[in-house]
Every structure is written in structure tokens, then in C-alpha cells.
């Protein structure tokens, strides 16, 4: 049904490489990039070493970064070739909340594989609503599964109240450190890795649905060397958010930026952090005394 396909067997419990449980005390490094966002974190997944932290354990709203967990839970509950029928409530949910959508229409039937692309690339609240409705079943039960998954993955600073990160119902939060860990786990799943790193996904028209073309909202893809995407997000409460990753110089870096006041700046900041991380792992960066914005190691 779609122009891009991948296949895999979802593990019963996705495991992540061990991440050092460093504190978020900070040290100064003259080469560290300035980060205007309220919260930020950068991890070298290859070594398990946190490289940068700014309020990394502060609990804040994360907008559509929520959908990373939505996709993770769907892949534990559904088959990629399962077919989901879109209903009027799915479409209405995105429209009445002024949310981003995958432009779905009531009556269309699409595979889970297609809908996951609709969730992760254009950040479709209609697609996430449809998946939660079927695989909760219902939003309330699906959110319970999200929170159970967060507990099982050790995301102790995370609480979900919905599947899409919209302000209602309120009360959801996470931390940059938790979201980096979740991104690390998600990228260890070949299907999610394939989805997050896809720049454009096309669903050809059929008797079951209209044609759809979805472009990834993560502007690092195709521009930043080794970029793996992950997820963008925005609400007024959360600000501009970004979960990002890249494979560079034999290392995988995963980062999270939360609460930026400017949309483009989150991508610029991510690029600066990645450039700086490359300097650190190549041995050309500086490690100095305390009070700055970077971590010197496993403190």
C-alpha cells in the first residue's frame, strides 16, 4: 500500500544499551555551544557518556515528542500490516484541537505501517488518535499502556496524559534525560529507526484510501550528516521541542531540546551540539572546571 516498507519482529521488551547514570551537575567548557532553550541534553550512546546537560532532569511538557512513546507502544500491540479504519472522531480530534494532522478522512483504511509514518513524519494527531482508539482500546487504556511502558523502561521523570502531547488533558511531563533514553531505545528498533529517518513517505491511492504524501518535520534530515531524525514538537506550554540523533565519526549521538522560543533555533542548536560532540570524542574539545553547561563525565 505504501512506497516505503520495512519489516521486523517487535521484541517483547526492547532493551537499550546501558547508559551511565550521571548527575546533571555542570562543568564549564569554553567550546560548549550556547543553548537558549530552557532544557537540553546530549548523550554519546556509543560510550554511554552524557556530553551536555541543561536542566536535564527538570519535568516539563514535551508536546509531540509524546508520539515517540505512542509509536513504541503501538509496535508492541499491533502488526505492521494490520488495517485501521479512520473514523470521524479521529479527524475531529485533530481539527478541534488545532493540531497537526496527516490529512486523514473518515472511512479511509490504512495499515499500521502507514499510520505510524503519519504519526511520526507530519505529527498527525488524527493518526495517533486512530491507533490509540484501536490498540488501547481507547485513549484512556492506551495512555495507561504508555505509562506502564515508561515505568518498565526506567523513565522515572515521565508521565503521559494523552497520545499526542496536546495540552488537554493537562498534567503530562517528561525530562530531556528520559526522552533521550526513549529515543535511544526507539532507534534500536529497526522499524522505528526506518520511520524516524524517512524524509518523505508516499501512500499510493487505492480502493481503501486516498493518496498521501508525508514530509518529515525534522529539518536535520538530508542536511546534517548521519541524521536519524526522531521527533519535533510544539505547543504554547512546551515551546519548540526536538528529539534528534545522528551517527557521526563512529559514534551515535542522541539529544533533546525542550522549551525553545524559536522554531528554527532548535535545529541550529542541535547542529552546534553535534559539531561540538564530534570535537569532544575526537579529543579536540576542552574539559574545564565547574559552572558551565556541559558534563565532564560520569559524575
The arithmetic mean of pLDDT across residues 140-154, rounded, is 98
The arithmetic mean of pLDDT across residues 252-262, rounded, is 98
Q: What pTM was computed for the model?
A: 0.87
Q: Under 8 Å CB-to-CB from 12, ≥6 apart: which residues?
A: 76
As a whole number of angstroms, the distance between CA 74 and CA 91 comes to 19
- Cell triple for 72: 513504541
Lowest mean pLDDT among 79-88, 143-152, 259-268, 282-291: 282-291
Q: Do the Cβ atoms of 101 and 108 come closer than 8 Å?
A: no
The arithmetic mean of pLDDT across residues 184-194, rounded, is 98
The arithmetic mean of pLDDT across residues 28-51, rounded, is 89
The arithmetic mean of pLDDT across residues 104-130, rounded, is 98
- What pLDDT is attached to residue 260? 98
Which strand (E) or helix (H) includes residue 54?
A: strand 49-54
- For the annotated catalytic residues, the residue numbers are 64, 67, 123
Does 121 have pLDDT greater than 80? yes
Mean pLDDT over each residue of the chain, to the nearest integer: 88
Closest CA to 93 of 85, 102, 84: 102
As a whole number of angstroms, the distance between CA 24 and CA 293 comes to 9
The arithmetic mean of pLDDT across residues 198-219, rounded, is 98
Q: Do the Cβ atoms of 268 and 255 come closer than 8 Å?
A: no
The arithmetic mean of pLDDT across residues 247-264, rounded, is 98
pLDDT band at 30 (very low <50, low <70, confident <90, very high): very low
pLDDT band at 206 (very low <50, low <70, confident <90, very high): very high
Structural domains of the chain in order of their starting residue, each with its CATH number: 39-282 (3.40.710.10)
Reported as half-sphere exposure (CB side, CA atoms, 13 A), residue 287 has a value of 11
- What pLDDT is attached to residue 291? 30
Does 44 have pLDDT greater than 80? yes
Does 283 have pLDDT greater than 90? no
Amino acid at each position: 500500500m505504501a512506497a516505503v516498507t520495512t519489516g521486523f519482529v517487535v521484541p517483547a521488551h526492547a532493551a537499550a544499551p546501558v547508559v551511565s547514570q550521571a548527575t546533571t551537575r555542570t562543568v564549564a567548557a569554553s567550546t560548549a555551544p550556547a543553548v537558549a532553550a530552557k532544557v537540553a541534553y546530549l548523550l554519546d550512546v556509543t560510550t554511554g557518556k552524557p556530553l551536555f546537560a541543561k536542566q536535564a532532569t527538570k519535568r516539563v511538557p514535551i508536546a509531540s515528542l509524546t508520539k515517540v512513546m505512542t509509536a513504541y507502544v503501538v509496535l508492541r500491540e499491533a502488526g505492521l500490516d494490520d488495517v485501521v479504519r479512520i473514523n470521524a472522531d479521529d479527524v475531529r480530534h485533530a481539527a478541534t484541537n488545532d493540531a497537526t494532522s496527516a490529512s486523514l478522512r473518515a472511512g479511509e483504511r490504512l495499515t499500521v505501517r502507514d499510520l505510524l509514518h503519519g504519526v511520526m513524519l507530519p505529527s498527525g494527531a488524527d493518526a495517533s488518535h486512530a491507533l490509540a482508539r484501536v490498540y488501547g482500546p481507547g485513549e484512556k487504556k492506551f495512555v495507561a499502556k504508555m505509562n506502564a511502558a515508561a515505568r518498565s523502561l526506567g523513565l522515572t521523570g515521565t508521565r503521559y496524559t494523552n497520545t499526542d502531547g496536546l495540552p488537554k488533558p493537562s498534567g503530562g511531563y517528561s525530562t530531556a534525560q528520559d526522552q533521550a533514553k526513549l529515543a535511544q531505545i526507539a532507534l534500536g528498533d529497526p522499524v522505528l529507526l526506518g520511520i524516524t529517518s524517512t524524509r518523505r513517505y508516499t501512500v499510493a491511492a487505492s480502493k481503501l484510501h486516498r493518496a498521501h504524501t508525508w514530509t518529515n518535520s525534522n529539518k536535520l534530515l538530508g542536511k546534517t550528516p548521519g541524521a536519524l531524525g526522531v521527533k519535533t514538537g510544539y505547543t504554547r506550554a512546551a515551546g519548540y521541542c526536538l528529539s534528534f540523533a545522528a551517527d557521526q565519526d563512529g559514534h551515535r549521538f542522541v539529544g533533546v531540546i525542550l522549551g525553545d522560543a524559536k522554531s528554527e533555533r532548535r535545529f541550529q542548536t542541535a547542529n552546534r551540539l553535534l559539531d561540538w560532540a564530534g570535537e569532544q570524542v575526537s579529543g579536540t574539545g576542552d574539559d574545564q572546571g565547574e559552572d558551565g553547561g556541559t558534563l565532564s563525565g560520569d559524575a
